[in-house]
Amino acid sequence: MASLSIEDRLLHYFLAMGAEQAPIKPASATLSFAIDEQRVNVVVMKNVALTRGVIIQAILGLGSLRAVSNQLYLVVPRLLGVTVDAEVLRSYGIGLLMYDDRRIDEVLPPQLINDTQTPICVTPDPSTTARLTELTSMYLEMKSIVMKLREEMKTLQQIPQQQSVSSIEAADQAFMAPGPVFNTSTGHLPSFFTDNPWLDVLSKRAKQQGEPFAG
């Protein structure tokens, strides 16, 4: 069995479980089987560096097969299987098979996919959640600052109008202000009328012309 490719070994593995190889498989699947009228699609990852990005790409590839599958499997070498987060696969309902030169083991069984299945909720990455919370806080703070700036702008726009109105009112008050008033209630006249010889002259002239004289 060690001389066989992993694809051939998986074929024997699933045939031993009572599966039949499907005549047509999706392009993104390595192998496709039918078990009791259920479609099983398998994606194999060989001896490559199983980085987080590579695993995510494999999970996305399996996710694209959900519409044509009832069960999904990811197959990885046993030595590299420790880098696979089984919880992530479980959240997507994907089964996990590990293999070495001697055997193939099912580490995580897949969840059954059908037309009425409730969509699987994926637990968000904690770092992504923390970043989202930070961005939300920054947005709210910026929104508060913008609102304060708008209020300050409104206040600054109103100040010139208030100054203009105040200037007009002050001018009106200055224009309407009464001139000097002579107090005649006490019988006192300005010094111009005191001992002024011209008053007699002007008084006589006014009488000759028949015009009353204010003095």
Same domain, 130 and 44: no
| R_g over Cα of the chain | 50
Same domain, 94 and 151: no
End-to-end alpha carbon distance in the chain: 144
Q: So what's the pLDDT on residue 117?
A: 44
- Is 72 in contact with 113 (CB distance < 8 Å)? yes
213 located within any domain: no
Same domain, 102 and 133: no
77 located within any domain: yes
191 located within any domain: no
115 located within any domain: no
- Is 33 in contact with 25 (CB distance < 8 Å)? no
CB-based contacts of 157-166 (< 8 A; 24+ apart in sequence):
none
Same domain, 104 and 129: no
**CATH of residue 84:** 3.40.1350.10
Same domain, 57 and 143: no
Q: What is the rounded CA–CA span in Å between residue 176 and residue 180?
A: 13
- One digit per residue, the tens of pLDDT, for the chain of length 215 reads 457 888 999 999 999 989 999 888 888 888 999 988 889 999 888 766 666 677 777 777 777 888 888 999 999 888 877 777 788 888 888 999 999 888 999 989 998 887 534 444 445 566 677 777 777 878 788 888 888 888 888 888 877 766 666 666 766 666 565 655 555 555 555 666 666 676 676 777 766 666 554 54
Q: So what's the pLDDT on residue 106?
A: 92
- Is 21 in contact with 11 (CB distance < 8 Å)? yes
Same domain, 129 and 102: no
Q: So what's the pLDDT on residue 104?
A: 92
182 located within any domain: no
Phi, psi angles (nearest 5°) of residue 97:
-115, 135
Q: What is the rounded CA–CA span in Å between residue 11 and residue 16?
A: 9
Q: Write out the residue range of the structural domain in which residue 151 sits.
A: 124-160
154 located within any domain: yes
Q: So what's the pLDDT on residue 137?
A: 78
Same domain, 30 and 75: yes
Q: Which residues pair with 98 in a beta bridge?
A: 76, 105
Give the residue among 94, 84, 95 at the shortest CA–CA distance from 120.
Answer: 94
Same domain, 135 and 97: no
Q: Say how many C-beta atoms besides its own lie within 10 A of residue 125's C-beta.
A: 10
Same domain, 18 and 96: yes
Same domain, 78 and 29: yes
- Domains held by the chain: number: 2
Contacts of 76 (CB under 8 A, 6+ apart): 45, 50, 84, 96, 97, 98, 99
153 located within any domain: yes
210 located within any domain: no
Same domain, 101 and 138: no
State the burial class of residue 135 (Cβ atoms within 10 Å of its Cβ: 0-12, 13-18, 19+): exposed
Same domain, 103 and 128: no
Q: Say how many C-beta atoms besides its own lie within 10 A of residue 156's C-beta.
A: 9
Q: Give, in degrees to the nearest 5, the angle at Cα 84 between 26 and 50.
A: 75
